[in-house]
Amino acid sequence: MSKSSFSTQIVVGSLVVIAFFIAAPNLVSAYRLELLTIFLINVILAQSYRLMATTGDWTLCHYILMGVGAYATGILAKSFGLPFYVVMPLACCVTVFVSLLFAIPLSRTIGFAFFIASFALGEFVRHVW
């Protein structure tokens, strides 16, 4: 199999999966849609952890940042009455801002100190909740 046909298969497969997820709310029951949503959120979380692990850095604040996004989604939706598809990108922006606040002190640490500092910052945010 040539490299170009393999990349074409990946693109076509990705488009099929995206089309399924766009059509999924109309094809499955509400219960299965909720399970699918939770599954995909955890897939995204696992992929972000894998990305960090393959670069050689181990961090413990992924779940905390996922929680920041969840809290931001809930607070924005309840306070302003916005629909989910508007609130989700806004919550992503809030999470990016918090993660940038994490990145400033964490960029000065290396090795095991990075691991412990990320844990400490994650615990700080958890206690603020």
> Are the C-beta atoms of 117 and 110 separated by less than 8 Å?
no
Going by pLDDT thresholds of 50, 70 and 90, the confidence category of residue 90 is: very high
DSSP state string for the chain: --HHHHHHHHHHHHHHHHHHHHHHHHHS-HHHHHHHHHHHHHHHHHHHHHHHHHTT---S-HHHHHHHHHHHHHHHHHHH---HHHHHHHHHHHHHHHHHHHHHHHTT--THHHHHHHHHHHHHHHHH-
d(CA 44, CA 87): 18
> Are the C-beta atoms of 101 and 60 separated by less than 8 Å?
no
d(CA 63, CA 66): 5
Compute the average pLDDT of residues 36-54: 81
pLDDT per position as a tens digit, 97-110: 988 888 888 778 87
> Which residue would you say has higher pLDDT here, 129 or 38?
38
Looking at residue 93, its pLDDT comes to: 93
Evaluate if residue 94 carries a pLDDT over 80: yes
> Are the C-beta atoms of 62 and 49 separated by less than 8 Å?
yes
Rg of the Cα trace of the chain? 18
pLDDT per position as a tens digit, 56-68: 766 777 778 888 8
Largest CA distance in the chain: 54
